[in-house]
Amino acid sequence: MSEQVHNRLAMVRAERKVSRQALAEAVGVHYQTIGYIERGQYNPSLDLALRVAEFFDLPVEALFSLRPFRPLTDEVYGRNK
């Protein structure tokens, strides 16, 4: 059974002002692939996930997870729910 990979890709892209097209070109995929990943319609390969993380200079687990991410406000302000 294939499990959904959750991601924060759209949020990080927006924060860094990187278009889908620019990210796609940098990591060697079609820009639609980035959209599919962001919407949870496609799980990236390990290779692709690592290339995306490297592009943003972030650990891969900051972008991708097997469990849903907690809202950033919870993480920043220490809320438990």
pLDDT in tens, 13-65: 999 999 999 999 999 999 999 999 999 999 999 999 999 999 999 999 999 99
pLDDT of residue 70: 80
Closest CA to 43 of 18, 19, 9: 9
Which residues are CB-neighbours of 71 under 8 A, at least 6 positions away?
A: none
Q: Would you state the pLDDT for residue 71?
A: 77
Q: Does residue 12 contact residue 49 with C-beta atoms inside 8 Å?
A: no
Q: Where are the alpha helices (DSSP H) in 40-81?
A: 46-56, 60-63, 72-77
The band of 79, judged by pLDDT with boundaries at 50, 70 and 90, is low
Token pair in block for residue 27: 């990591």
Q: Which domains does the chain have, with CATH numbers?
A: 6-77 (1.10.260.40)
| pLDDT score for 10 | 95
Examine the pLDDT at 1 and tell me if it is beyond 70. Answer: no
Q: What is the pLDDT of residue 36?
A: 97
